[in-house]
Structure 1
């Protein structure tokens, strides 16, 4: 069996071994989690086909805003973001002719900004806006006073990498070349054998311990009312205030801040303190919520945060699974089946290697 096959088999067996988590209802057995997807450096088992929330086409010209992603039908997920070194945008499936159109649109917008800055006397900023050469016919890049923007077309998707400006232009070129040389297209449920970080439909080969934050929003094709967000983040130096952060506060923050535009009146039902996810101790809750249209639904959320055992690094895992019955194609998934599904997915999370 190949390395990829071994990984998939190990994860599926681990997921299917679960029936219930101590302290939960146990009303339903775990569903068949027959597919394995990778997010960041972790694998997660899923019951079937999924669709990802990806960068909107019009947002590839917009350098600002985090909520620039959507599912194929236009619904926005609760959350999604992709960072490795700096921000990465991933488009929905598109054609090479659309990529050629985008190249022209980016050039037109850049030249317009260049002229506009010159008109108001900001010559230094205007002069900084220029294209620079990168390898590959399906790639192009622009430099501004703020940083670089690198675009490439791989496997039917457009990828954009944005980064802050470096002191030396040659360093910007090196970063652009590293991104283009290491970014690879990847089929959904394909687990790479190389070391690196998984993004939706793609994989970025890395060395050492890169700082990254990959939060992928997925929706089950068979149950479009079920939205899954899984985030794996790793940093060498924990950010401000991270030393006082704990898993329970992360769960509450996500529900009451990030999800506040979709749900209200959360009622928490906490799992035991010994809840495990990805081999780490964390906290999990089943949360009854009210939708904006006053319908009742529920959310499963788990977080495992904190140090990895090294004094200068931190790995955080967060899994959020929700049911929005207003989006169901027919009869929504039942609470008992949803709970069993969410618990099984949470327990399936494991490092890829």
Structure 2
């Protein structure tokens, strides 16, 4: 989840595990960017909102209209929302969970809707209502979203060297239309920056793999890190469909071994990592 510092100051890699190690690749975007933390006390949150209100009041004296903010009416307790020329957002505190939200471009309607429909979510809780799950939060909604890039990084308790990243990306008209194969190649060569070289396994490294019952492309490779150490990665990508009658996003699953993070335990082998990747891929489904 997000660190407490992410709410009060600039935080490099603000999404982290409970032991403060970064959770790489994670992103909490649903009609705007979220920060979600259980590490902010109620008194710290109240002080944060107090400062935000002071800054909003001071913006009225700014010389340009795009520098000024106005408060939005809210009904939720311990909540504060604002509207500016370029962005809008809110702070809210629910059941020990601090949540911030910023929408760009500004949208009073979207900001108010998300605030009215977001709530804290317990670990492992699967809501029965339609909506979008985020770590520690749930936004109940049946309406189409403007943007969604929800990516969550998991770490296995028994194998701390194994990271599992799953990404749900809403297909938008203006984003590149990459096939599953093209996206797979792009991730290995450019997007994640996993090391200085990746050697894919097999004479024909591109395999057909399904996520959520949809056909995609899977591959497995040996990663050479920048320090010349070696690790392994398993990647599945599925192309979304903008014109489908139901929401059909781009999907990505990445399972990686990082032996340097094994915490004294024996790192998994290449075969073990590939098996973990295949089992996770088979388990993914929309609820």
**Which category describes the TM-score, using the shorter chain as reference length?**
0.7 to 0.9
Pair 1:228-2:164 in alignment = yes
List runs of 5+ in structure 2 lacking aligned partners. none
Distance 1:133 1:163, change over 3 A: same
Q: Which has the higher contact order (CA 8 A, sep 6+)?
A: 1
Pair 1:89-2:35 in alignment = yes
- The alignment's C-alpha RMSD in Å is 2.7
Q: 1:140 corresponds to which residue?
A: 80
Cα deviations by residue, 1:234-253 (Å, 9 ceiling, x for unpaired): 34x433432xx111221222
Counterpart-to-counterpart distance in 1, 2:220 and 2:205: 8
Alignment of 1:48-63 (within 5 A): 54-61=1-8
Q: 1:296 corresponds to which residue?
A: 230
Distance 1:322 1:102, change over 3 A: same
Pair 1:198-2:133 in alignment = yes
Pair 1:315-2:261 in alignment = no
Cα deviations by residue, 1:244-269 (Å, 9 ceiling, x for unpaired): x1112212222332321x42211112
User: Does the aligned pair in 2 maintain the 1:61–1:106 contact within 8 Å?
Assistant: no
Q: 1:268 corresponds to which residue?
A: 200
Distance 1:55 1:132, change over 3 A: same
Q: Which has the higher helix share?
A: 1
Counterpart-to-counterpart distance in 2, 1:134 and 1:314: 33
Counterpart-to-counterpart distance in 2, 1:107 and 1:309: 43
| CA positional deviation for 1:78 | 3.0
Alignment of 1:1-353 (within 5 A): 54-61=1-8, 67-110=13-56, 114=59, 118=62, 122-126=63-67, 128-164=68-104, 172=108, 174-211=109-146, 212-235=148-171, 237-242=172-177, 245-260=178-193, 262-269=194-201, 273-307=207-241, 310=244, 314-329=248-263, 330-352=265-287
Counterpart-to-counterpart distance in 2, 1:55 and 1:297: 27
| CA positional deviation for 1:308 | 6.6
Counterpart-to-counterpart distance in 2, 1:56 and 1:257: 28
The normalised TM-score by structure 1 is 0.72
* Most deviating of 271-280 and 65-74: 65-74
Cα deviations by residue, 1:153-212 (Å, 9 ceiling, x for unpaired): 12322111111355xxxx61x433311221122222211111111111221111133342
Q: How many residue pairs are counted as aligned between the two chains?
A: 283
| CA positional deviation for 1:123 | 3.8
